[in-house]
Amino acid sequence: MSFTHAFDATSLREYDIRGIVGKTLHPADAYAIGRTFGSIVARNGGKSVAVGYDGRLSSPELEHSLVQGLVASGMDVVRVGRGPTPMLYFASVTHKADGAVMVTGSHNPPDYNGFKMMLANKPFFGEQIKELGRLSAEGDVVPEHAGNVRDLDVHADYIARLLKDYDGGERTLRVVWDNGNSAAGDVLAQLVRVLPGEHIVLNPDIDGTFPAHHPDPTVAKNLEQIIAAVKAEKADIGIAFDGDADRIGVVDNKGQILWGDQTLVILARDVLKNHPGGTIIADVKASQVLFDEVKAAGGTPLMWKTGHSLIKSKMAETRSPLAGEMSGHIFFADKWYGFDDAIYAAIRMLGIVARMDTPLSDVRDALPSTISTPELRFDCPDTRKFAVIDEVASRLKESGADVSPIDGVRVNTADGWWLLRASNTQAVLVARAEARSEEGLERLKEALVDQLEKSGIAAPDFSGENAGH
């Protein structure tokens, strides 16, 4: 039986395949991903693919169609069932699968869903996703022949492995968790039964409608519930997850948010005790404070491109023990497997806090303070966005500015820095600025706006409040 399938043009993204269910994403797409990705695995010399799915209402149907496509490509499919994305990664690595596919909409609204993939336990992204789309459209797949399917429950093994690296010593903590109705719900319920300390779990049930709040812990509004609970319970720390639990949010004992780079500072100091001089990677959106603190702790800071797949690849290349992004992706290769896992990051964070002789808020408050804009995203056509970055970079180079071109342009000045980059997944430009004073931040904003106007781009809305950091 011949096979061809064309995906909606908007669904093939840089790091995953993603769309709106019933509009740009359908079960037929899931089948096509299975049929084509299975062919890629086969041509890569592989035979087995691990599959998991999150708690979204559309995920079971999409997973079913995905599995059918994989089986038609002759794959031995290992179905790990519903759970967080990192549990699938864990299953893939520990059971030596040749490929892995997670059905997940991550932190997107309930009507979205998507697919994250690994090939030979490495990220499958960028040009590989484009190639998958081309192979599907052309019907360039292996001849149809039936594979096999088996179910594998890895919950117990995953939880036991998480617990193995808890190193909190004698002190017990009072912890508030906001599962956010995420796919981590079943794992978290079992984990807190055996993890030392007192644990209060908010929104424990897996619910793909996300009735409590949007499943994205990098947005302050989504942390209001856990902040209130931490204060009410007089907890030592609060931990929040996104929809598939590969991104973490952290709140200290005062209810103050620790942003992704601040969390990474605390984790890096601990990891560097066993990896002196180790390379700690953070994305280009991270605070200069992070890079300075890593250096002060004896590490080698490395600024890299935004994107979890890009970070994972750079970690493997540099043998970095730890990396992170402002978006809350934390990657441990120290004791762990190098993939982003918010539950594992939480375990390591709890161990550090339990060994502290001061509250977490003291450590957070001791970090140098800066003032920054929120991440600003504004429309720019796909056909224009990279050209704008090139134009800005060229003008800055001519002016002798101190520019890092790793991912867009990050401009360092006496006041601080500003960033302008093109999104890899949307028709938008992304901007951010950080300074040591309000006056300095205003000068950085003016410099950014000036460059945008020179390229004929309307400046983003800076009217929102600046954030202390």
pLDDT digits (tens, 9 = 90+) for 54-81: 999 999 999 999 999 999 999 999 999 9
The domain containing residue 319 runs over which residues?
A: 157-366
Task: Note the pLDDT of residue 378.
Answer: 87
pLDDT at residue 382 greater than cutoff 90: no
Same domain, 134 and 243: no
pLDDT tens digits along 410-460: 999 999 999 999 988 788 999 999 999 999 999 999 999 999 999 999 877
234 lies in some domain: yes
Query: Does residue 79 sit in helix, strand or coil?
Result: strand
Average per-residue pLDDT for the chain: 95
| Average pLDDT value for residue range 5-10 | 95
Distance (Å, whole) CA 67 – CA 56: 17
Same domain, 55 and 137: yes
Same domain, 253 and 143: no
Same domain, 334 and 194: yes
Task: Note the pLDDT of residue 429.
Answer: 94
Is-catalytic flag, 106?
yes
| Average pLDDT value for residue range 99-115 | 96
Task: Note the pLDDT of residue 376.
Answer: 87
Same domain, 338 and 190: yes
Same domain, 35 and 89: yes
The two three-digit tokens of residue 60, written as one number: 């079971």
pLDDT tens digits along 171-222: 899 999 999 999 999 999 999 999 999 999 999 999 999 999 999 999 999 9
Enter the pTM of the model.
0.95
The two three-digit tokens of residue 339, written as one number: 């993939």
User: From residue 437, how far is each of 10, 362, 466, 469 by CA, in Å?
Assistant: 40, 22, 11, 11
Same domain, 434 and 351: no
11 lies in some domain: no
4 lies in some domain: no
Distance (Å, whole) CA 76 – CA 179: 32
The two three-digit tokens of residue 38, written as one number: 């299975």
Same domain, 108 and 46: yes
Q: What is the DSSP string of 20-47?
A: EBTTTB-HHHHHHHHHHHHHHHHHTT--
- Other Cβ atoms closer than 10 A to 358: 9
Same domain, 197 and 268: yes
12 lies in some domain: no
Phi and psi at 301, nearest 5°, equal -75, 140
Task: Note the pLDDT of residue 467.
Answer: 59
User: Which of 318, 350, 366 marks a domain boundary?
Assistant: 366
CATH number, domain containing residue 83: 3.40.120.10
Among 58, 106, 136, 287, the one annotated catalytic: 106
Residues in the chain: 469
CB distance 73 to 135 below 8 Å = no
CATH number, domain containing residue 380: 3.30.310.50
Same domain, 113 and 234: no
User: Which of 336, 351, 366 marks a domain boundary?
Assistant: 366
Same domain, 274 and 394: no
User: Which of 333, 366, 399 marks a domain boundary?
Assistant: 366
pLDDT tens digits along 221-267: 999 999 999 999 999 999 999 999 999 999 999 999 999 999 999 99
385 lies in some domain: yes
Domain count, the chain: 3
Same domain, 39 and 138: yes
Distance (Å, whole) CA 372 – CA 128: 36
From the CA atom positions of the chain, what is the Rg in Å? 22
CB distance 247 to 327 below 8 Å = yes
